[in-house]
Amino acid sequence: MAMTQGTVSVAADGTVTKSGLAGEVYDAMWSDYTTAILAAGAQVPTDPAQLAKIRKSIAASAKGQALCIPHITTNGSAQVDTGLSGLQRVSGVDTQAPSVTKSVPLV
């Protein structure tokens, strides 16, 4: 599965459309919000206009957190050290550790 930044949008009636990491973060934050509201003995709002305002705020935070994806895909790398012998063996493929430390892109 590819790493995607994704997005979250909220319609005036509170309907949410989401994708990628932003959508995953939104789902987690919405779950935390509703759990906290119910634990406090309150009700989750049902008025579409009020619900849309709350969801838009959570969506904005989720989208901000998902900004890490472009940074990771642009700058992230993994390092393979020279001392890493015993890597997975694949028939006919040399999977020994490199002779010098190498960095490879994550994506």
Q: Encode pLDDT of 17-36 as tens digits.
A: 999 999 999 999 999 999 99
94 pLDDT more than 60: no
Domain that holds residue 90: 78-107
Which parts of 1-107 are beta strand (E)? 8-10, 16-18, 77-80, 102-105
In a domain, 18, yes or no: yes
- Yes or no: say if 4 and 25 are a contact pair by the CB < 8 Å rule: no
Instruction: Please report whether residue 3 resides in a domain.
Output: no
> How far is it, in rounded angstroms, from Cα 38 to Cα 3?
33
C-alpha distances (whole Å) from 100 to each of 47, 97, 103 are: 62, 8, 10
pLDDT band at 51 (very low <50, low <70, confident <90, very high): very high
* 48 and 93, same domain (yes or no): no
Residue 63: inside a domain = yes
- The reply to whether 15 and 62 lie within a common domain is yes
Output phi, psi for 105, to 5 deg: -65, 150
Residue 13, domain member (yes or no): yes
